[in-house]
Structures are given as C-alpha cells and as structure tokens.
Amino acid sequence: MKLDHVIEAQQFDRDLLEVVFNEANEMEKIAYSGGSDILKHAIMATVFYEPSTRTRLSFESAMIRLGGRVISTENAREFSSAAKGESIQDTIRTIQSYADIIVLRHYQSGTAKLAEKIAQIPIINAGDGAGQHPTQALLDLYTIKESFIKIDGLSVAMVGDLENGRTVRSLAYLLAKYSDVKIVFISPDFLRMKDDIKQHLDKHEIPWEECDDLREIAPQVDVIYMTRIQRERLIERPGDYEKARGKYIVNRAVVDSMKDKSILLHPFPRVDEISPDVDVDPKALYFSQIQNGIFIRMALLKMCLIGYQH
C-alpha cells in the first residue's frame, strides 16, 4: 500500500498515524546507522514559492539519507517560469516529467489540492499559504507522543498568530483524532483561530477555549505550542502586527510555572517569542522537534514511493 499524496492533516486517521510514527522510528535507526539506498533510483523535486529553512532542507536531507536524489528551486516565485506568468498547473505538469515526487510550498491556500488533481506522481504539501502544513503537524504530534507515550487526555495551548498559522491548523486537525484532548487558543482577539477549525473540533467533541493570557494558562497545560506573529501575512495590517508583536514571550518565569513534565514546542522560525535562555531547559523540545522532522519526512517519502504495511 502506498500514500498517493500528503495534502492535509485530515487524511490521516489514528491507524495511519501509528503507521507513520512506526515508520519514523525505523527511519531514525536508518539515519543514525549511516543511511540507506532504498530510494536510490528516485528523484524528488522541491518546489518552494515561499522561503524555507527547515522544511526544504529536512526533506532534501531525508531523500539523500534514503539514497535518492534532489532537484530544487529555492525561490520558485522569482527563479522559475512563474516569474514569466506560468500557471501552477503547467509547472506541475512539467516537473512531474523530471521527478518521481514533488514537495510543494506555495503562498496561496489550496494550491496543494490543485496540484494533487493534476499530478500523476505524489505531491507533498510543504505549506500552502495560511492553509495547512501537514508534515509539520505530523512531526509535532510525533514529538508529543515521544514525550507522553499517549496523546489521549492531553491539554495543548496554541499561542500566537492563530489566524494565519498553518501549523496550528494542521495540528488541531490531528489532535481531533484523539480522546479527552483539550485545546486552548491563546492569541490577540484580532488573530484568533478561524471558525472552520473551531467547528471541526466541535464536530469531533474536542473541547476548546480562547483566552489572551499565556501566564494564566501555562501552569495548566501539558503542551505549549508557540508560534511567531507572521509579519508577511499582515503586510496590509501593519497596526495589527505592531500590536501583536511581543505580546506573548516565553521566558524563564513562564517555563518555571509550567508542569514538571510539560513540554514547550515551536515550529520555527522564532523571532522573539521564546527567550534563548530557555533553550537549555528540558521542557524545551523544539530542537528535538526539528530533528524529528527528518525522520517523519523520511517515513513519508518511503510510504509514498515504496509503500507500507497497514
């Protein structure tokens, strides 16, 4: 059995999530033992219309560790035929002639779904505007599971720019697969989580609440998931950016107030949301989170190109 595409978090049920996590465990062993050649005949194209450090490089690292090859355009918005007016449809039809799988990041929500309809090879959504970032959510959930063994019963605070945060949207969809989970949305009132996510949580009977006080909630939850205020999504709302910037900062006092076994995550890049002196605290798992991205993406590449046992 193969994954046809990785487009949105909703496509993963609990059973499939366990498969992904088990595959990631195996990929971790492969990564630390010097790699593998199971994808030695495969070519991956990374096509990024928005900037990326972790997602693009971790996908490329994942492919190389499995013996595959990479072709890439780092800034497709300016340095591909998109700059000449080429449609995303024509771009996908062209690139699929050169590669066996496409990892696509785009600035418009819904572009990955559009590419999926066109492509005859697997598409992996590496972030589509303010829509979704499913591979980030998978590595986030994998990191949470490594810390707590089980996800049922956990409380998670999502903090920052929730209106534009594709990582929190995808993670909310995945958390809705579990039982007795509680989510707290912490944001300025003008950057709240969109209604479609709240309606999805209601449908799946996942309790959620909204507040704007991180210090009040920090001692109560198992996971704090910080995000930055996304300046690039607020270009036409500079006043909102200035009001939100610096509103939520995790410093030593906030971390000290957290439960002993709670964890602090961040999808990165960070700006000023987490003080660097927190980095050495055992609750701060965002660099482990980054490392886990390689294992999850190795697993997804293998599941798309070779297959898996369900």
User: Where does residue 158 rank: exposed (0-12), middle (13-18), buried (19+ CB within 10 A)?
Assistant: buried
Q: How far apart are CA 94 and CA 105, in angstroms?
A: 16
Nearest Cα to 158, choosing from 204, 245, 218, 240? 218
Nearest Cα to 176, choosing from 203, 196, 194? 203
Task: Report the sign of the C-alpha dihedral through residues 232, 83, 89, 13, in that order.
Answer: negative
Q: How far apart are CA 270 and CA 39, in angstroms?
A: 33
Beta partners for residue 123, in sequence order:
102
Residues 6 or more apart whose CB falls under 8 angstroms from that of 121 comprise: 96, 99, 100, 101, 102
Active site residues: 54-55, 84, 105, 133
